[in-house]
Amino acid sequence: MAGAVEVARHFPFRIGRSAAANLRIEDAGIWDEHLTLSLNAAGQIEATVQPGALATVNAQSLDQGRLRNGDVIQIGAVQLAFELSPARQRGFWAREGLVWTGLALLCLAQVALIYWLLN
């Protein structure tokens, strides 16, 4: 599964061996419900490890804690890279069109003013 990408579209997001897990991993050292990702009241993503299961985040032991972009989670023999999805950029075609139209009207007004002043 090296290099595979899994997107958590809803929370809680469960990681483990069971068929009910959102991310099913059957490697050595993985429990049925090993790790759960959830949103806290502040909108931050927290990881909660099942009692008795072992997990580390950036080589620090973890029972429950907040995840940050770029954290490396190790459960059993598996390493998971936690990353936030890139934000989609909205199109600016309407604003760009208005700016170019305004610039064109300004240029036409200047040409008309010069023509009026010379006559």
pTM of the predicted protein model? 0.66
Tally the domains of the chain: 2
According to the model, what pLDDT value does residue 1 have?
Answer: 66
pLDDT at 48 over 70: yes
User: Do 71 and 26 fall into the same domain?
Assistant: yes
CATH of residue 54: 2.60.200.20
**DSSP characters over 40-109:** -TTS-EEEEEPTT--EEETTEE-SEEE--TT-EEEETTEEEE--PPPPPPPP-HHHHHHHHHHHHHHHHH
User: Do 65 and 118 fall into the same domain?
Assistant: no
According to the model, what pLDDT value does residue 2 have?
Answer: 72
Tens of pLDDT, residues 50-93 = 998 899 999 898 888 899 998 999 998 889 989 887 777 788 88
CA distance 32 to 100: 59
